[in-house]
């Protein structure tokens, strides 16, 4: 392969955007609104949203518009819409001193290198694309939502708070002494511990109509809509029962695990990064208090 900047002028004529893509949309990443230009080249807001192009009525779980602006990177995805396979290429652009996602869109239905059988069995193509999109928002080991999805959902909730009185309360948890488990018993046992605790976290979140995701190597987040602090405390007690009372076994020894947690309610003035940082602050403060209590 050769760098694009070395491309011969003749070859460049085959690579213009109108040859490689069919259409585009300029997207405000936080609201998902699509913008256009008027006859005087002034940027104007349309009545459209980016996710309607994907055949949805709500933002995509694997939204690349928001991700490309958050990470300042370029991302791609496939979507199956009305019997067509669409390729989306999202890249961050700054227009009138504001950050947007420029989405370039191509209908690749007839250009995929897939045997004709799969083209006729449309459900198979749709299933494969859905699996790819699921992988982009899930943690491969635990099956939980990943941090990309968590940040997406939090930002979407902030937009929702402008129209409703709904509130979001999160719990960030960290497995106590997880590094020592890996050192004493090996990563195989450490993975067993991690998987059990992740399963317990998912089960408790489901019991109380919440959702959860993996924030870090041994850190998880649980999120609940319109819960009181007393209800959150009940959830933490239930999670503690499931984790601290479970016996793990390794090298002929039995041991138990505990966790620390921090709680915070999402504020309308925050974005996902601000909120996750505040959750971590509460978590670290709780861990510090726990260590002080253990030393007394």
Say if residue 186 is in the same domain as residue 75: no
Domain boundary among 137, 166, 191: 137
The reply to whether 35 falls in a domain is yes
pLDDT band at 120 (very low <50, low <70, confident <90, very high): low
- Of 137, 139, 141, 142, the closest CA to residue 153 belongs to 137
pLDDT band at 113 (very low <50, low <70, confident <90, very high): low
Domain boundary among 80, 114, 137: 137
The reply to whether 228 falls in a domain is yes
The reply to whether 10 falls in a domain is no
Q: What is the pTM of this model?
A: 0.83
The range of the structural domain enclosing residue 173 comes to: 147-295
The reply to whether 42 falls in a domain is yes
- Of the chain, the percentage scoring pLDDT greater than 90 comes to 71
pLDDT at residue 114 tops 80 = no
- Of 78, 75, 30, 70, the closest CA to residue 50 belongs to 30
- CATH code of the domain containing 84: 3.30.450
Domain total of the chain: 2
The reply to whether 258 falls in a domain is yes
Instruction: Please give the pLDDT value at position 19.
Output: 84
Say if residue 176 is in the same domain as residue 277: yes
Mean pLDDT score, 17-42: 90
Say if residue 174 is in the same domain as residue 104: no
What is d(CA 50, CA 28) in angstroms, rounded to the nearest whole number?
9
The reply to whether 11 falls in a domain is no
The reply to whether 200 falls in a domain is yes
Instruction: Please give the pLDDT value at position 115.
Output: 55
DSSP-derived secondary structure letter, 138: B
Instruction: Please give the pLDDT value at position 280.
Output: 96
pLDDT tens per residue across span 189-227 = 999 999 999 999 999 999 999 999 999 999 999 999 999
Separation in Å, CA 13 to CA 4, 75, 192, 206, 245: 13, 24, 55, 54, 67
Using alpha carbons only, give the angle 291, 295, 296 rounded to the nearest 5 degrees. Answer: 120
């Amino acid at each position: 392969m050769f760098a694009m900047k070395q491309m011969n002028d003749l070859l460049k004529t085959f690579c213009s955007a109108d040859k490689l893509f069919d259409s585009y949309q300029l997207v405000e990443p936080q609201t998902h609104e699509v913008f256009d230009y008027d006859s005087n080249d002034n940027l104007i807001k349309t009545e459209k949203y980016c996710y309607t192009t994907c055949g949805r009525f709500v933002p995509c779980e694997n939204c690349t518009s928001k991700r490309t602006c958050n990470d300042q990177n370029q991302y791609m995805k496939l979507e199956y819409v009305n019997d067509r396979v669409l390729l989306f290429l999202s890249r961050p652009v700054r227009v009138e001193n504001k950050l947007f996602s420029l989405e370039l869109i191509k209908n690749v239905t007839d250009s995929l290198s897939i045997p004709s059988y799969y083209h006729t069995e449309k459900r198979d193509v749709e299933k494969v694309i859905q699996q790819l999109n699921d992988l982009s928002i899930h943690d491969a080991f635990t099956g939980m939502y990943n941090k990309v999805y968590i940040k997406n959902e939090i930002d979407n909730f902030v937009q929702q708070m402008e129209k409703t009185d709904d509130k979001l309360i999160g719990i960030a948890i960290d497995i106590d002494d997880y590094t020592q488990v890996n050192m004493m018993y090996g990563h195989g046992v450490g993975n067993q511990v991690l998987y059990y605790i992740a399963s317990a976290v998912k089960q408790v979140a489901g019991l109380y109509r919440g959702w959860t995701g993996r924030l870090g190597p041994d850190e998880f987040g649980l999120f609940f809509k319109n819960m009181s602090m007393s209800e959150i405390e009940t959830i933490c007690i239930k999670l503690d029962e499931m984790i601290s009372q479970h016996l793990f076994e390794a090298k002929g020894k039995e041991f138990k695990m505990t966790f620390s947690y921090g709680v915070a309610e999402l504020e309308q003035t925050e974005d996902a990064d601000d909120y996750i940082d505040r959750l971590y602050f509460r978590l670290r403060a709780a861990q510090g208090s726990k260590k002080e209590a253990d030393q007394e």
